[in-house]
Structure 1
């Protein structure tokens, strides 16, 4: 595992060194907890920026999965009750053909988080080794012995070491460490839940919400935050900061995409079209000329459908007089 994580630990240490150097050059205390917290936030922003293309691929793939839901339903109905090996193989081949044709990938939704996991574990390992390396006067890859010593002596609120956890507070204030860690774990889990909730509630079409995939996503919606809520007690404060900031980035990134480029047929698209209509703009995906032509056609159909009220004989005679 150390061999596998080595390049990721090197990347983590290099980015931390770079941001720490920048903030120190700006006049910040090199041993301050705030300086190292900002370096960790810088690491988070770099990684989330790098994974933007994967996020775009994730959105496209999820939309592709939604579009093929009717076809998937037909395929499942076609092979319903057929459990022999040949039928299962044929169904799997037809599913792969659907994925290939639509460009959908069931695993694409996990790409951003999977790419971040090595960095996550790399940061975890770097923080875990800080006290021991500082005690031996050693560096950690790009971080020099002096930087490791400064990192080891940096505290949040002058009481909470960045490498401490709920279970191992180090030489800091135990109660304060537990309080800070608990707050970060709650923020991390809540932001993860909200990020997935807004994606499913607003950015999925009504047809997609009836699919088995949507029901599976609803299970994961609650499962992942619970997992992180429980496992968060073992994460160092620095790792919790990284993951919390990363989740808030996800919330903001998804909000922008859902608001400005929603999935066709979703609630978000209806809301976008309402905002566009208020500004006198055509719906998404239509030119102004197409929208005006549709509106004109609707008015003509409405006029043709209006019923001419019959006039009674007495009213007709009065009108003629």
Structure 2
């Protein structure tokens, strides 16, 4: 009976990731053994694929939350831009803290967590790092096939390690790699050549590259669509803001159904002019009269109320013709 050589779980920090990964692989390999030969390459390749599916299913809720947060962030973009404009040019620590507080309140009110999008990526990194380490330790560099078959690999016992080393797919051992020394290939599979490994590996590399390109292209399309929606929302808010006050860029709009007034109408105390409020109330007067002063105060109050209301809907009035 061959002695069993166990790898210490504390040899490297990555073992902390490799052992849970090997447990999931072992479960799926055991489940597939009821369907296919457990010593076949299909059983071992299937266990790796089902490991990936398991991880994706576990992360499905987090990935949904990530997409939800991205959509909500796009909807919040106009309000975030307003905050940036509000605090632009204000560099004091108090202003920075106030801006951060308002931004956090904005996120909390919308139920958005900006860090939620990082969780799926942070979880997948140790999983795939552990998977790489498990596959590498089936046939560790510097060890012969005979030595490797007497060692444990995470949750796998030596019998299962030997099963993996003897498994083949399309006539190529699963434990082989492109730069494997010829003497190791001879001990693994007599007559195996490097060209045999390349004939299987190169098409897999091409398929992996195509899949990566498609994934990146779809991601770019989603980001482009989200950016376009964000810009459209910002443009809509800016247009509503321009129509929300009585004087915007020298133009005026109707406030609560009142007649639009021009900037010249609000110029009180110059050349004996009267305000729009004077003309509506029939109290137009000469400069310096109480009627004119009262109209000026009414115009200022109307301006303040309009700026405080800042309606989110577009006004139905038309811009005055020049």
Question: After TM superposition, is the score higher than 0.5?
Answer: yes
Q: Flag the structure with higher helix content.
A: 1
- Going from structure 1 to structure 2, the CA distance change for 1:54 and 1:106 (only over 3 Å counts) comes to same
Identify the match of residue 100 of structure 1 among 101, 108, 124: 108
Identify unmatched segments of 5+ residues in structure 1. 213-321
- Going from structure 1 to structure 2, the CA distance change for 1:152 and 1:160 (only over 3 Å counts) comes to closer
Kindly state the Cα deviation for residue 35 of structure 1 after the two structures are TM-superposed.
1.6
Kindly state the Cα deviation for residue 201 of structure 1 after the two structures are TM-superposed.
4.4
Kindly state the Cα deviation for residue 197 of structure 1 after the two structures are TM-superposed.
2.9
Post-superposition CA distance 1:20-70 (Å, at most 9, x none): 1222222x2323222211111111111111111112211221122112111
Kindly state the Cα deviation for residue 148 of structure 1 after the two structures are TM-superposed.
1.1
Q: CA RMSD in A?
A: 3.0
Identify the match of residue 152 of structure 2 among 128, 139, 143: 139
Q: How does 1:185-264 map to 2 (within 5 A)?
A: 185-202=208-225, 204=226, 206-209=228-231
For 2:43 and 2:202, the matched residues in 1 are separated by 21
Report SS of the residue matched to 2:33: helix
TM-score, structure 1 normalization: 0.57
Identify the match of residue 133 of structure 2 among 125, 130, 141: 125
For 2:176 and 2:224, the matched residues in 1 are separated by 37
Q: In the alignment, what sits opposite 1:156?
A: 169
For 1:119 and 1:147, the matched residues in 2 are separated by 21
Q: How does 1:1-321 map to 2 (within 5 A)?
A: 4-26=13-35, 28-132=36-140, 135-136=147-148, 137-159=150-172, 161=174, 164=177, 171=185, 173-202=196-225, 204=226, 206-209=228-231
Alignment check: 8 A CA contact 1:65 1:105 kept: no
For 1:120 and 1:42, the matched residues in 2 are separated by 13
Report SS of the residue matched to 1:139: coil
Larger Rg: 2
- Going from structure 1 to structure 2, the CA distance change for 1:36 and 1:195 (only over 3 Å counts) comes to farther
Kindly state the Cα deviation for residue 159 of structure 1 after the two structures are TM-superposed.
2.3
Alignment check: 8 A CA contact 1:156 1:162 kept: no
- Going from structure 1 to structure 2, the CA distance change for 1:130 and 1:101 (only over 3 Å counts) comes to same
Alignment check: 8 A CA contact 1:128 1:163 kept: no
For 1:209 and 1:147, the matched residues in 2 are separated by 56
For 1:151 and 1:211, the matched residues in 2 are separated by 56
For 1:49 and 1:194, the matched residues in 2 are separated by 23
Aligned length: 209
For 2:220 and 2:17, the matched residues in 1 are separated by 31
Alignment check: 8 A CA contact 2:14 2:130 kept: yes
Alignment check: 8 A CA contact 1:16 1:43 kept: yes
Bigger shift: 36-45 or 93-102? Answer: 93-102
Greater RCO, 1 or 2 (C-alpha within 8 Å, sep 6+): 1
Report SS of the residue matched to 2:171: coil
Report SS of the residue matched to 1:41: helix
Alignment check: 8 A CA contact 2:176 2:197 kept: no
